[in-house]
Amino acid sequence: MSLLNGKTAIVTGAGSGMGKAIAQAFANEGANVTFADLNYESAKTAASSAGLNRVQAIKADVTNDTDVANLVNQTLEAYHGLDIVINCAGVPQSFTAIEELTLEQWDLIMNVNTKSIFLTSKYAVPIMKQQKSGSIVNIASIAGIRARPGLNAYCASKGAAIMLTKALALELAPFNIRVNAINPGPADTPMIGKFLVGNEQQKEEGMKKIFQDSVPLGRLIQPDDIAQGALYLASDLAKMVTGEILNIDGGRGI
């Protein structure tokens, strides 16, 4: 039997990288899936490559209250329930000295990486409370527990995502709603190059030195590695797991 038969999931950031891999894996495991992304074209392409009629693509800015409310409502209308929310949309930060960081940069990083979890919870939790079940998985980062110089706002946003996960896990446990997070290590997605500064050669060296060589298992994390963890946490395989922060990082966080 498929792990998510009959379940309905929203995956944010589903147009690229990990979100796309998670949404496609969930669809393959039997779920109805809303692929949500700020970039509608990429969400649509990702959803149609799943080749199933149980999926839809929705344009949503996860920092925007109205967009998130619409995202939840349109998912309810299409599939008559909401069991799983995966908060995967995120933005990176390249090395920026704290005195150089603009207020706009700080706000964008905090809004996309952290406020989004508040907003999706605000609209999804009432439905899950009514159903007396639900599973929320937040894609945080190993940078949320292991700081790196110059990634000030990014580390803060992911640290906050981790603590919000734990606070919500306790708050929502009486309603049988589980809340967990995954901390990916450096991952082979379009985002990874955006953490680096310098010319092409410097970026290439940085990719090897800062990312690949920093992973004890010796390779970058693949989007599928994250999809497998999200599948476990979202499904009934993890029915007694809540407030857990799962590092999928090849040992980077040790």
Ligand X SMILES: NC(=O)c1ccc[n+]([C@@H]2O[C@H](COP(=O)([O-])OP(=O)(O)OC[C@H]3O[C@@H](n4cnc5c(N)ncnc54)[C@H](O)[C@@H]3O)[C@@H](O)[C@H]2O)c1
Residues near ligand X (CB under 6 A) are 12-13, 15-19, 37-39, 42, 60-63, 88-91, 112-113, 139, 141, 184, 186-187, 189-192
- For residue 207, the 8-state DSSP code is I
CB of 184 to ligand X, least distance (A): 4
Of 219, 174, 223, 162, give the one whose Cα is nearest residue 19. Answer: 223
154: annotated active-site residue = yes
CB of 167 to ligand X, least distance (A): 19
Tell me whether residue 99 is exposed, middle or buried, using C-beta atoms within 10 angstroms of its C-beta: 0 to 12, 13 to 18, 19 or more.
Answer: exposed
Handedness of CA 33, 34, 39, 40 (dihedral sign): positive
Decide whether 10 or 89 has the Cβ nearer to ligand X: 89
φ, ψ (nearest 5 deg) of residue 105: -65, -45
CB of 67 to ligand X, least distance (A): 8
CB of 27 to ligand X, least distance (A): 17
Task: Choose the catalytic residue: 79, 123, 154, 232.
Answer: 154
Decide whether 148 or 166 has the Cβ nearer to ligand X: 148
Tell me whether residue 132 is exposed, middle or buried, using C-beta atoms within 10 angstroms of its C-beta: 0 to 12, 13 to 18, 19 or more.
Answer: exposed
CB of 193 to ligand X, least distance (A): 9
Task: Give the Cα separation of 199 and 69 in Å (integer).
Answer: 41
Alpha carbon dihedral 225, 227, 174, 63, in 10-degree steps, equals 110
Decide whether 213 or 236 has the Cβ nearer to ligand X: 213
Decide whether 8 or 42 has the Cβ nearer to ligand X: 42
Decide whether 120 or 242 has the Cβ nearer to ligand X: 120
Helices 17-28 and 223-234, packing angle to 10 deg: 50
Task: Give the Cα separation of 188 and 127 in Å (integer).
Answer: 35
Task: Give the Cα separation of 23 and 177 in Å (integer).
Answer: 20
- Contact residues for 73 (Cβ-Cβ < 8 A; gap 6+): 123
Q: Which residues are catalytic?
A: 154
